[in-house]
Structure 1
Amino acid sequence: MDERVKLLRQVQQCDFTLYDLQLYLDTHPACRRAMEQYEKHLRHRRELEEEYVRRFGPLRAEQAAGSEPWSWVENPWPWEGGQC
């Protein structure tokens, strides 16, 4: 597995963890520990995403804003053999 795919999977793992914590916090809004975990994973996800964008290009269209040429479509799409 190449470095791009490894980093993308780490971003996806953080997304899953954040979503799970969001669901928990919906039913336990006063849980301080869950909120601390959410904030920790959110910071980590942002760091991973910044690294991914710096090394491999944008994950979202707004991250390509201002780039010349428009780089949003440079990575392979999933149906072109890109990783989901």
Structure 2
Amino acid sequence: MEHKHRFELLKQLQEVDFVLIELNLFLDTHPGDMNALQQFNWYAQERARIAASYEQQYGPLTNFGHSLNQYPCGWDEGPWPWEI
């Protein structure tokens, strides 16, 4: 069950990332669209919530100081996203 939950959180992150990229591209050509900006901000907060939930349960998603780590170090723990 834990593996399924982990996969679901990663899937949610991919979906939200896709929406954020699309909204970012839209806002590049429509910078005054307040509705699109509000959607972008909502999805950015949703992404942060999902990422925090994942990292609390399964360890860091990224390195370079963008994610907190825990003891024991979570960098070498799998499965990696491409192994799921």
The two structures share one fold, judged by TM-score above 0.5: yes
> What residue in structure 2 maps to residue 52 of structure 1?
54
Query: Residue type matched to 1:5 in 2?
Result: F
What secondary structure is seen at the aligned counterpart in 1 of 2:50? Answer: helix
The sequence identity of aligned pairs, in percent, is 34
> What residue in structure 2 maps to residue 41 of structure 1?
43
> What residue in structure 1 maps to residue 31 of structure 2?
29
**How many residue pairs end up in the alignment?**
79
Unaligned runs of 5+ in 2: none
CA distance in structure 1 between the partners assigned to 2:74 and 2:58 by the alignment? 10
Matched, 1:72 2:75: yes
Shift in Å, 1:56: 1.1
The question of whether the paired residues in 2 share the 8 Å contact of 1:64 and 1:72 is answered with no
TM superposition score normalised by structure 1: 0.84
Shift in Å, 1:64: 4.6
CA distance in structure 1 between the partners assigned to 2:6 and 2:72 by the alignment? 21
The question of whether the paired residues in 2 share the 8 Å contact of 1:64 and 1:70 is answered with no
